[in-house]
Structure formats: structure tokens, C-alpha cells
Amino acid sequence: MTTPRDLSTELIHHPYQAPAGFAAPQPGVFKASTVIFQNTAAMRARDWKSKAGYTYGLHGTPTTFMLEERIATLEGGRHTVLVPSGLASITLTDVALLGHGDEVLIPDNAYNPSKELARHELSRWGIAHRLYDPMDANALASMLTPATKLVWIEAPGSVTMEFPDVPNLIRAARSTGARVAFDNTWGAGIALRPFELGVDVSAHALTKYPSGGGDVLMGAVTTCDPELHLRLNAAHMRMGWGVAANDAEAVLRALPSIALRYAAHDRAARTIARWWQRRPEVAQVLHPALEGSPGHALWAALCTQAAGLFSVVFDARYSLAQVDAFVDALRLFKIGFSWAGPVSLAVPYDLRMIRPQAGPGVLVRFSIGLEAVDDLIRDAEQALNALGAEARSA
Ligand SMILES: Cc1ncc(COP(=O)(O)O)c(C=O)c1O
């Protein structure tokens, strides 16, 4: 007679298996560090390089594989790896494609942590970087050397919103064989299709539109080229950058509505940006879909849609303290970084600190959420009283 197993053992090694074939609109959430192999032969034959099977939670579960495939589709690419943040998608691309003695070129208006990564971390690994003016493809062409192995493109620039000549930047980079990485966070796979333009890698902060809730940090690196994907996947595995199943599930839940949300953010942002254009306090509204914004014609040549982001440059008579007072007086707009969530956000910047060639001035970068447009306009209007009040008290 076999000795009965203890209850604790019984609960861990319970014999019931749910039947296969369960189907529901939402994919399941699989959580695992350990993945169980059928036998030692299966364990020895494991292959982390493909999605044919599972090896360890860090290298993929049904939930993360599902999200990778959907992001590849969103991006118009073929292979995607997930990483724990948008910034990590930039880091993974740099680490996988660059080595000692190589150089990377980054637009001077790029998402600042990408520049900081190059300045403080890549430099310690013997990887050089220079900043280029994204609005001058000829200048980029003249900067390329045999050491330039990677050129980053961001369209539009994160805060100053200039829309570059993406096809010509790609052509310039390609002329010497440099790889092109594109930060596709703004376009989100909807406003433009970077692989159709010839980029090698698309890095995407899923934190923004794919998640859409302001409650998840995640990034994705997508390619069409299997060799390149293998390099990225190998670096990803060795760096240990997995994502949590619940976070992957949150993005999977939000993806079906991304096109609707993107269009709603776009519509609201353009209406509010046009309202700002009529305000006497404003020197310029930077929104690539508005005429007069830097690179507007280049945006129009590539895109029909735009993200819900724009910046307002205040008239030179207003100081940073006055603009801060305006931002502090906003009630519905909250002060905070990131974008693409339901809550509208505002962040003031001193232009000289972020892009000196853009000239002096104070700007506020707005991320338009999903509140009613009229309420947001009324909020901005009442907060403008604080701009004037600060001027009187100054
Ligand atoms: C253009 C761009 N790329 C990448 C990132 C990084 O995303 P995350 O916040 O997920 O690291 C951001 C974040 O604001 C961004 O604006």
C-alpha cells in the first residue's frame, strides 16, 4: 500500500488538468519563472531563439509571445522583443548593435534619456556618440564615418516637435551602411509605418499608446530582419530584461482600442492646439499637423494622423516663473511626465535648456488625454489668469 501524500504535496502536485481548447476573447495570463520540461531530453533540446517552445519565464510565456506577435503586427514588422520600459527598448537597441569603437548618431531634439544613456553609459563601453540636427539631412550625411554603425531617428522631436525628413535621413544613413533605429512611440504604428520607409529597428514605448492607461511601463524592439532579431534577442536574454505577465496582459487588453484612442487624442489635441494659436499670450504652437510648425510639410507627406502631443511657446514677455504659475493654476491638466493616458498633462520647459538652436523662450508641452475638449479649454483659459497675475506681481 502506498503511503498517502501530505496535503501540502497534494495541493502542489494536484492531478487535475483543465481541458485544452478553452477560448475567450482575451488571451490568458501565464505567470512563470520556472517552465517545466517533459523530460531531460526536452530540457536539453530547449531553444530560446524561437517561439516553438518555452525555456524559462524570462525568455517567453504564452502571454508575452502573444503580445510580441501583436506588437510586430502593429509596427508592420516581423519580430518583436519586449523590455521593461520604452527607455530599455532604446538601451537594448544600442547594446545589441554597437560595440567598442563604434559611434551612434542621435537627433539633438531626441528624448533626453536616450542622449544621457549615450553620454554616461555607452561612453564607458567605448561607444562614441554625436548629436545631429534632424532638420538637415545633408548635415547628417556629412557626419557619417566608417565608425558610425547606428543612426537614431525620432519623428517628431520629443518636446520641440520638429518633424524631420525621415526618408532622406534614412537614405543618408544607408549611404554608408549604418543601421537605422526609429523611435516609433509618437507614431505608435498608426500615424506612420517606419519599416515601409526602410528602417532596420523600431523602438516603441508601449508605456504610451499601446498601454494607454498611464499605469504600465513597457517597451518593444521590432525588426523585419531575422538575423538582426537574433542579435536583439540574444542581447535581451543575456541582459535579463523580462516583463511581468500582468503588465503584458494590461497591454493586450488595451491594444484593441489603440486606433480609436489614438484618433480621439489626435482630434482633441488639434482642436486645443488651434485654440492656443488664437491666444495673444502665445508666440508659436508646435504641432506637426498645424501649418507653420517646423516640418509640417514633411509630416503631411508621410502621415494623416498625429499623436495627442503639442507644445506652446509663450511670448517672450513671459518669464519661466510666470509660465510655471500658469501650469500650477491648471486644474484638469496635471503636471507630470509621459503621455497617451486618459489624463491630460502639462510640463513647462526652458527652451534654452533643451534645444538652444530653437531660440530663447518658455514652452509648455501638453499631452491631451480623453477628457472633453471644452472642459480642457476652459481649464487652460482660467489658468491664463495666473500668467497675468504673476506678471502684475513681478
Ligand atoms: C519618444 C519617447 N521614447 C521613449 C520613451 C521612454 O518610455 P518609458 O517611459 O517607457 O521609458 C519616452 C518617454 O517619455 C518617449 O517620450
Quick: pLDDT tens for 125-174.
Answer: 999 999 999 999 999 999 999 999 999 999 999 899 999 999 999 999 99
Q: DSSP of 321-387, one letter per residue? A: HHHHHHHHH-SSSEE-S--SSSS-EEEEEEHHHH-GGG-S-EEEEEE--SS-HHHHHHHHHHHHHHH
- Predicted confidence band at 313 (pLDDT cuts at 50, 70, 90)? very high
Predicted local confidence at residue 97, as pLDDT: 98
Expressed in angstroms and rounded, the spacing between residue 309 Cα and the centre of ligand 1 is: 13
Nearest CA, atom 4, ligand 1: 86
pLDDT tens per residue across span 5-42 = 999 999 999 999 999 999 999 999 999 999 999 999 99
Per-residue pLDDT at 390 exceeds 70: no
Closest atom, ligand 1, to C-alpha of 337: 14
Q: Is 207 in the pocket of ligand 1 (CB under 6 A)?
A: yes
Task: Tell whether ligand 1 has an atom less than 6 A from the beta carbon of residue 222.
Answer: no
pLDDT given for residue 344 in this prediction: 98
Q: What's the pLDDT tens digit per position in 98-134?
A: 999 999 999 999 999 999 999 999 999 999 999 999 9
Cα dihedral 303, 345, 356, 178 in deg (nearest 10) = -40
Q: What is the DSSP string of 170-183?
A: HHHHHTTT-EEEEE
Q: How far apart are CA 193 and CA 72, in angstroms?
A: 12
Residue 359, pLDDT score: 72
Q: What does the alpha-carbon distance between residue 385 and residue 243 come to, in Å, rounded to a whole number?
A: 45
Q: What is the pLDDT of residues 266-279, one digit of tens each?
A: 999 999 999 999 99
Query: What does the block give as the cell for 268?
Result: 482633441
Between 86-97 and 112-120, two packed helices, what is the crossing angle to 10 degrees?
A: 40
More confident residue, 326 or 4: 326
Report the mean per-residue pLDDT for the chain: 95
| 210 pLDDT higher than 70 | yes
Check pLDDT > 70 for residue 258: yes
Total-model pTM: 0.96
Distance 117 CA to ligand 1 centre (A): 13
Q: From atom 15 of ligand 1, which residue's Cα is the shortest distance away?
A: 111
How far CA 221 is from CA of 73, 153, 235, 319, in Å, comes to 12, 14, 12, 40
Q: What local confidence, expressed as pLDDT, does residue 50 receive?
A: 85
What is the 157 CA–ligand 1 centroid distance (Å)? 12
Summarize pLDDT for 224-246 with one digit per residue, the tens. 999 999 999 999 999 999 999 99
pLDDT at residue 353, rounded to an integer: 79
- 393 compared with 213, residue with greater pLDDT: 213
Q: What pLDDT is recorded for position 103?
A: 98
Which residues fall within 8 angstroms of residue 220, CB to CB, at 6 or more apart? 68, 71, 75, 80, 81, 82, 83, 89, 203, 204, 206, 210
pLDDT given at position 49: 84
Q: Is the CB of 157 under 6 A from ligand 1?
A: no
pLDDT, average across residues 201-215 = 97
Instruction: Identify which of 90, 241, 310, 338 to mutate to test ligand 1's pocket (most ligand atoms within 8 A of the CB).
Output: 338
Distance CA 247, CA 258 (A): 16
What would the pLDDT profile of 345-380 be if each residue is shown by its tens digit? 999 999 887 777 767 789 999 999 999 999 999 999
Edge-to-edge strands of the sheet including 345-350? 282-286, 309-314, 362-367, 345-350, 334-335
